[in-house]
Amino acid sequence: MRKTNIAVFASGTGSNFSAIVSAVKTGMIKANIPLLICDNPEAPVIKKAVRAKIRVVVIAAKDFSDRDQFEKAIIEVLRGCGIDLIVLAGFMRILSPAFVKRYPSRIINIHPALLPSFKGAHAIRDAFEYGVKVTGVTVHFVDEKTDHGPVIMQEPVRIENGQTLKRLGQIIHKVEHRVYPRAIALLLRGRLRVRGRKVVC
């Protein structure tokens, strides 16, 4: 039986990418990662993928006339690699509803807050500045809305008195690196199904 082929989409340092690659190497995640899609030619994640001997394809939105052409280029690469699952790991582009509909329940994302609270690109800062006592991490299926979609897994993170924003970010990222591989492994074992807006075991 062929293993699942995962494409990771990333734009930055690639810390979650590294955590996922490590989980594949140890056998925790029973899948292949044949492809990294990156929209930023300067992203540190590229060097990490090269060291891991994973194919890197840089597709920068600025090189295309519009988002439709940008996404068509991505789809062409995904088809060529036989990709089964798309894992967003710090990919700083919002995928269009048309793109998401091509891969129903086959795109997942990690968000550094307990959705539906604190959506958007600055979730850690927003939760910290709002003054909540508990924030966290969410792994979810991607749907046509931003930071939406059925939740796969969540883990809370308490914000301690006197904690700095920098320290909170470090703690949340550490939790991400543990939770994301676990959620992917659970998904690939066939333990999860999407019914309407809910994930069921």
Break the chain into its structural domains and give their ranges. Answer: 1-103, 109-201
Q: How far is CA 184 from CA 58, 93, 179, in A?
A: 24, 21, 9
| 30-77 pLDDT per residue, tens | 999 999 999 999 999 999 999 999 999 999 999 999 999 999 999 999
> Residue 191: what pLDDT?
56
Q: How far is CA 187 from CA 28, 70, 128, 143, 184, in A?
A: 12, 28, 31, 17, 5
| 129-180 pLDDT per residue, tens | 999 999 999 999 999 999 999 999 999 999 999 999 999 999 999 999 999 9
- Do 147 and 119 form a contact (C-beta atoms < 8 A)? yes
Q: At 177, is the secondary structure helix, strand, or coil? A: helix
CATH architecture of 109-201: 3-Layer(aba) Sandwich (3.40)
What count of other Cβ atoms lies within 10 Å of the Cβ of residue 62?
Answer: 7
First to last CA, the chain: 23
Q: Do domains 1-103 and 109-201 have the same CATH topology?
A: yes
pLDDT band at 192 (very low <50, low <70, confident <90, very high): low
| 81-135 pLDDT per residue, tens | 999 999 999 999 999 999 999 999 999 999 999 999 999 999 999 999 999 999 9
pLDDT at 200 over 80: no
CATH top-level class for 1-103? alpha beta
> Residue 132: what pLDDT?
98
Q: Which residues are designated catalytic?
A: 111
> Residue 198: what pLDDT?
58
